[in-house]
Amino acid sequence: SRWKWRTTPGAGEPGIETWPDVETSLRSAGAPWQPPTYDPELNLVYVPTGQPTPAYNGRQREGANLYTCSLVALHADTGKMAWYYQFSPHDTHDWDATEVPILIDGTIDGQPRKLIGQTNRNGYFFLLDRVNGKPLVVRPFAMSNAYLGVDNGQLVPNPAKEAVPGGTLVFPTSDGAVNFPAQAFSPATGLFYVNATDAGSIFYVPIDASNPTGYGRPQEWHGGFFESRLMAIDYRTGETRWQHAYAQQGWGSSQQPGVLATGGGLVFSGDPSGNLIAYDAAAGHILWHASLGAQLTNSPQTYMLDGRQYVLVAAADTLFAFYLQ
């Protein structure tokens, strides 16, 4: 291999001060499990990292626990870190930051900026300067009660929302308001599109939980409702421009289908009733749908063949290809 970068720091490395000791840092994961995003102009690789372990029990790992639940920019040639931003400091709810971040060449305060955006499992939308990692927008897009607020662009965890023996109600669930299914962005509309879910979990931890491993010997129970919707978020502010709530009970976030935004002004995704739906990307109106008989199990994809543009989706064990007329 050309280079290697560890997601948690070793002795004497930057970030080790956010862990109680080196041993705890090096055994605590933060594993990436999504493809990174690459900017060829800056020659930076943007790596979203996973949660610390033990996932639900933070008693033995006090501190912010860098570089877990973060976006880390690495120089592609050397693997050296250019900057980092931590979405969920000292995470105790399994909120991996591995939702794929999207490059945005946009405008802030009238000035062109190289940006990177992500709707995160913790229920917040983040917009960062992708040159230096400076946070520009930190705003909730879903139900979230695990933070005391934002301090200098950084979320402040609420200790009262950590697991306790009697249980703690937390929004969103451990699956998050979103998960790995693809998010999308349209330069034409300036909108960031994502399927999101409001749901809560009750987090428990045993009274005797010394030196835990894995998930930390607690339990977590999902709530009984899942209210899901497709959202269009203004990347400059984090405000919701339009949303389409799904009529029946929605998904857990790991079951959400991904989203595809096209240059023709359309957004494609699926609903819990097994429909593939095409929306007007700017206004959110439904323009077309097809009943597939099962929920989508992928992100819609588009391709050209023999002069026709197709949209391809999977539902259950079947592939469906539609061409645009």
Q: Which of 21, 77, 94, 317 is catalytic?
A: 94
- Is 91 a residue of the active site? no
Cβ–Cβ < 8 Å for 204, 220: yes
Give kind and range of the element (H or E) at residue 23: helix 22-26
- State how beta strands 147-151 and 135-140 pair: unpaired
d(CA 60, CA 80): 29
Cβ–Cβ < 8 Å for 14, 82: no
d(CA 219, CA 215): 8
d(CA 201, CA 36): 29
d(CA 241, CA 192): 10
Give the count of alpha carbons within 13 A of 48, CB side only: 24
d(CA 111, CA 108): 5
Handedness of CA 138, 117, 277, 172 (dihedral sign): negative
d(CA 279, CA 276): 10
Token output for 107: 């405008």
Nearby residues of 303 by Cβ (< 8 Å), 6 or more positions away: 309, 310, 312
Token output for 154: 């950084």
CA angle 120, 125, 128 (to 5 degrees): 100
**By three-state DSSP, how is residue 161 classified?**
helix
> Which residues are identified as catalytic?
94
